[in-house]
Amino acid sequence: MIRGGAGDKPARRPGLGRAARPAAAAVVTAGILALLLVRRRDAAGSLAEALHRVAASDSRNSPLTAFGTRFYDAAVLAHSDKVSAPGKHPDHQFELLYQKYMWQLPRGAPLRVLEFNAGCSNLTRAPDGASIELWRTLFPAALISSIEPDEACAARFRGALEATGGAAYVGSQADPALVDSIVEASKKQGQFDLIIDDDKDRSPAGELAALHGLWPALRPGGVYVVESLPTSHQPGMSSSSGASGGIAPFIRQAIDDLECSSDTALVDPAWQAYCGRPEYVQGITRSFAAVECCTDACAIVKRRAPR
């Protein structure tokens, strides 16, 4: 304390005037908020990055789709073709599908991921193993499995996959024995949170067969993504837009099937007839919660189990 002469009142320390105190309080509050965001970063996934993205985005873009840059940044670092980075596929904006489901997850989330060709990508614009690196970067505790086209590819990446707790499978979409073995393994080891069909060597009806076959291996609330849809529209492929039995017409019909859970379907005779079809009553679309698509890819969300 600074004192004057005898009998003088103690002099006040130099401080902030009344007018400056609200500004100082605002600075302190902002500092505390920033500290809390930093401390909660691991617990709340990419919340800080998402808030930064919203604040930094220009006025041309809506903040509704600014989910943060976590997936995009990890994909660029892994040289994945899932995003439209320089030198990659110009129209791939798969972050619109993936990021919305992942942006709040902590990095330590032990997700179970299964992807076709996570090791051997067979692409000139994405190096082999890019997807494995992507998922390890995003979620270091993830258990990553891959379905590789041959044993040579599987052998190259088996060590990396098994190190995560996952497995390397060998085969194709259209191999029912392989699909059955994966489903059986998921019953013992746990269902997958995310299944990605990015099989570049699609066989006729392979995508749809894989979706139906692997659906039981997907955890309730999980996401099944079909990538490289234009490949399915090549001549001779079952998924071409005019062909029956392919993944593209199936997804279009699945969007209609979602309405079978609406109130209208309960009272409208036309909807009752549509939703009474055996392929719906006995099919997997009854367990679809949502279907979302972007350029080259669609995501199907499995209904969550009732609490």
pTM for the predicted model, two decimal places: 0.77
What single string gives the DSSP state of each residue in the chain?
-B--STTPPPBPPP---GGGHHHHHHHHHHHHHHHHHHHTTTTTTTHHHHHHHHHHS-TTS-GGG---SHHHHHHHHTT-SSB--TTS-TT-BTHHHHHHHHTTS-TT---EEEEETSS----SSS-TTHHHHHHHHH-TT-EEEEEESSHHHHHHHHHHHHHTT--EEE--TT-HHHHHHHHHHHHHH--EEEEEE--SSPPTTHHHHHHHHHGGGEEEEEEEEE--HHHHTSTT-TTSTT-TTSHHHHHHHHHHHGGGGSHHHHH-HHHHHHHT-HHHHTSSGGGEEEEEEETTEEEEEEPPPP-
Task: Write down the pLDDT at residue 83.
Answer: 85
Tokens of 2: 């600074």
Q: Calculate the alpha carbon distances from 133 to 57, 140, 164 in Å.
A: 28, 10, 11
pLDDT tens string 150-161: 899 899 999 999
What pLDDT does 238 receive?
Answer: 43
At 259, list the tokens.
């309405």
Domains recognised in the chain with CATH numbers: 193-307 (3.40.50.150)
Token code pair at residue 199: 């099989």
pLDDT at 296: 85
With a cut of 50, list the residues of the chain below it in pLDDT: 1-7, 9-16, 26-48, 50-51, 55, 204, 238-243
pLDDT in tens, 96-120: 889 888 877 899 999 999 999 898 8
